[in-house]
């Protein structure tokens, strides 16, 4: 079975621009969560999608938005990028059983200049 894949792996954007990050969930998983991890910190929960519906949101502004598609892949969109948005963005997928926790991708390293 394939794991969670994220694209791109690295990205450099200018302040004020918009960015879209993509995530393919692990086969058989219907839930996708997005996390932001600043250097030296633990991952911070952005939001979760379950069967194409948002299923919980962390303390992030509305310029962070997402989508989940019928094949359970997902996108994270960030508008009006700020310098503090520079971070590792992680996608995690899970199934209804949660028997083996969440499976994380390797992340997208976003740098805003």
Partner 1 sequence: LAKTTQPISMDSYEGQEVNITCSHNNIATNDYITWYQQFPSQGPRFIIQGYKTKVTNEVASLFIPADRKSSTLSLPRVSLSDTAVYYCLVGDMDNTDKLIFGTGTRLQVFP
* Per-residue binder mask for partner 1 (CB under 8 A), 30-69, x = binder: -x-x-x-----xxxxx--x-------x-x-----------
- Give whichever of 38 and 80 is closer to partner 1, judged by the CB atom: 38
Query: By C-alpha distance, which of 111, 104, 79, 110 is closest to 23?
Result: 104
Which DSSP string corresponds to 78-97?
E-S--GGG-EEEEEEEE-TT
Site string for partner 1, 84-103 (x = CB under 8 A): ----x-xxx-x---x-xxxx
Question: What is the number of residues in the chain?
Answer: 113
Site of interaction with partner 1 (CB under 8 A): 4, 31, 33, 35, 41-45, 48, 56, 58, 88, 90-92, 94, 98, 100-107, 109
């Amino acid at each position: 079975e394939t794991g969670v894949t994220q694209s791109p792996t690295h990205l450099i954007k200018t302040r004020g621009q918009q960015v879209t990050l993509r995530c393919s969930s692990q086969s058989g998983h219907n839930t996708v969560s997005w996390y932001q991890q600043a250097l030296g910190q633990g991952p911070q929960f952005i939001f979760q999608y379950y069967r194409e519906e948002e299923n919980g949101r962390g303390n992030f502004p509305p310029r962070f938005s997402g989508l989940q598609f019928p094949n359970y892949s997902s996108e994270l969109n960030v508008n009006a990028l700020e310098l503090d948005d520079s971070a590792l963005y992680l996608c995690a997928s899970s199934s209804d059983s949660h028997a083996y926790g969440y499976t994380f991708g390797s992340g997208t390293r976003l740098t805003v200049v």
